[in-house]
Amino acid sequence: MVSELREFTEEQDFAALRSWLEENGTLDITDALSRLEPEERALPFRLLDKDRALAVFEALDPVHQQQLLDALREERVRELVNAMQPDDRVRLLDEMPAAVATRLQAGLPPEQRAATAALLGYPPGSAGRIMTPDVTNVRASMTAADALAKVRRAGRRPMRSQMLVLPVTDDERRLIGVVDLPDVVAAEPSTRIRDLMQPETLYVRADEEQERAARLIQEADLIALPVVDREDRLVGMITVDDAMEIVEAEDTEDFSRVGGTEPLELPYLSAGVFQLARKRAPWLLTLAVAFTLTVVVLNSFEQALEALPALAFFIPMLIGTGGNSGAQAATLVVRAMAVGEVRFGDLTKIIFREMRVGLVLGTTLAVVALPLVSLVYTVPIGTVIALTLVGICTWASFAGGMLPLIAKRVGIDPAVVSSPFIATLVDATGLVMYFLIAYAVIGDQLTVAAAALGA
């Protein structure tokens, strides 16, 4: 499908392009456009009719929106940016070089400029930054008929989920509740709005974090959440589609960090090789430096390695298993924290559980490893490996379960200290454990062999 579009674009086959665009839906067109090279996108986009063009533009990722604007005439750019919803426009402006953003804002009609400036006044990441300032509110003293008349006056507009839930305010625009549009429609026309309000009023303050707003919408199954200022005055609404985007972005961030990389903040295929490397190099370098600990540990056990080189054979398996079991614990705890199931107060409970889980897992592995290693190598080596597996799994699960909670407590993103970080930590400490167990179990053998080598 993309190849078709690309072919028609390259050949500048207008007729084929037009019919392709007519046959496909908005989402398919958006998807295909994102997959074209940035400079190829302008031609098919210009062939879209006006309504469809706006719909496609709104569905594009902010990065792609900006690339597309770069290729369009100034007038068309202004048209598109004016037609966007204020909160989407702010997201686009945030992606742009400051000079371009300022010029675009200057070109907005006064009303839109005011709405945009208001949103840009809130700090990035705050609820205010992503709310829709343009909401239809009703008063508690109105009747259902009055409220419907007000919705009717607001006119037919592109679908706006904020009109599905109407915030109810007092005479000073202070939020006192919300009412669902279906309830207003279904009510006797003379019913007071006050009697139709939802029993509970959930809201956020404009300076609170977006993520809190998004999780509230998600947990309470809301369509829209009112946003108020410090005086409890209604300033906007955050809608469920924005909440989904925020939750998705948060999940992507956690997901990236758990995989040992910074989030890209733009679609994978739109990131250049050096952009990708720049997001990954700091992690890789930091972890590689942390790995020098393992070099130091092994260096200090050089004698044992010289005496019994077979000890080296199991290093990757032991530290790998330790890293994996630590990563399991950390992953489950990080996710449970993200979805709000677990918090710092649960620390002791989690530590206790994870140590027991680690013990169970380590013992399971030891039971498998002991006969195998004893058979291929010797019973003492088998014993060393089995004991180390038990110790390493218990310790790794303990560390993996505990560190994300502690990280959050001291203000670090818990996802940062999960998998790769914990694996590195467990590697060095696991090696110390391994050699200490080896000395305890087969110490005589190691010393005798070392003496023989020295002689």
Q: Give yes or no for residue 181 binding its own copies (CB under 8 A).
A: yes
> Does 353 engage in binding with its own copies (CB under 8 A)?
yes
| Single residue of 117, 244, 375, 412 touching its own copies by CB under 8 A | 244
- Does residue 156 touch its own copies according to CB under 8 A? yes
Piece in contact with its own copies (CB under 8 A), picked from 5-13, 102-110, 193-201, 403-411? 193-201
Q: Which residues, including other chains, have CB under 8 Å from residue 245's CB and lie 6 or more apart?
A: none
Taking CB under 8 A as the criterion, the residue among 112, 169, 418, 429 binding its own copies is 418
Q: Which stretch binds its own copies (CB under 8 A): 112-120, 227-235, 355-363, 438-446?
A: 355-363
What is the distance between the alpha carbons of residues 234 and 65, in angstroms, rounded to a whole number?
A: 31
With beta carbons less than 8 A apart as the criterion, state whether 391 and 363 touch.
no
The answer to whether 219 contacts its own copies (rule: CB under 8 A) is yes
Q: How many residues bind its own copies (CB under 8 A)?
A: 126
Strand 234-239 to 224-228 pairing: antiparallel
Residue with tokens 């000073």: 172
Residue 440 binding its own copies, by CB under 8 A: no
Q: Which two tokens stand for residue 424?
A: 């590195």
**Which residue, 389, 401, 261, 263, is CA-closest to 331?**
401
Q: Of the candidates 339, 375, 379, 440, which one interacts with its own copies according to CB under 8 A?
A: 339
CA distance 147 to 235: 19
**333 near its own copies, judged by CB under 8 A:** yes
Taking the C-alpha atoms of residue 402 and residue 418, their distance in angstroms, rounded to an integer, is 10
Residue 270 CB partners (closer than 8 Å, separation 6+): 34, 61, 63, 64, 67
Of 101 and 401, CB closest to its own copies: 401
State yes or no: residue 324 binds its own copies (CB under 8 A): yes
The burial class, CB within 10 Å (0-12 / 13-18 / 19+), for 451 is exposed
Residue 258 CB, shortest distance to its own copies, in Å, is 6
Q: Cβ 202 to its own copies, closest distance in Å?
A: 7
Q: Which stretch binds its own copies (CB under 8 A): 14-22, 104-112, 115-123, 291-299?
A: 291-299
Q: Which stretch binds its own copies (CB under 8 A): 37-45, 72-80, 93-101, 237-245?
A: 237-245
Give dist(CA 176, CA 436) in Å, integer: 66
**Contact (Cβ atoms closer than 8 angstroms) between residue 327 and residue 419:** yes
Least distance from C-beta 68 to its own copies, angstroms?
Answer: 17
225 binds its own copies (CB under 8 A): no
- List the one residue from 146, 180, 208, 265 that touches its own copies (CB under 8 A): 180
Residues 367-396 that bind its own copies (CB under 8 A): 368-369, 393
> Contacting its own copies (CB under 8 A), which of 151, 347, 370, 450?
151
- Contact residues for 44 (Cβ-Cβ < 8 A; gap 6+): 5, 8, 9, 17, 21, 29, 33, 36
| 284 lies in the binding site for its own copies (CB under 8 A) | yes
Give the separation between CA 330 and CA 325, rounded to whole angstroms.
9
Nearest Cα residue to 335 out of 400, 393, 392, 287: 400
- Selected binder of its own copies within 43, 72, 163, 449 (CB under 8 A): 163
Task: State in angstroms the smallest separation of the CB of 333 from its own copies.
Answer: 7
**Is 111 among the residues that bind its own copies (CB under 8 A)?**
no
333 is written with which tokens?
A: 């705890």
Binds its own copies by CB under 8 A, chosen from 6, 31, 72, 170: 31
Q: Residue 347 interacts with its own copies (CB under 8 A)?
A: no
| Site stretch for its own copies (CB under 8 A), options 14-22, 121-129, 146-154, 227-235 | 146-154
Per-residue b or e along 221-257, where b marks 16 or more CB atoms closer than 10 Å to that residue's CB: ebbbbbbbbeeeebbbbbbbebbeebbeebeebbebb
When binding is defined by CB under 8 A, the residue of 82, 137, 161, 445 that contacts its own copies is 161
Identify the residue among 114, 117, 186, 448 touching its own copies (CB under 8 A): 186
Shortest Å, Cβ 200 to its own copies: 6
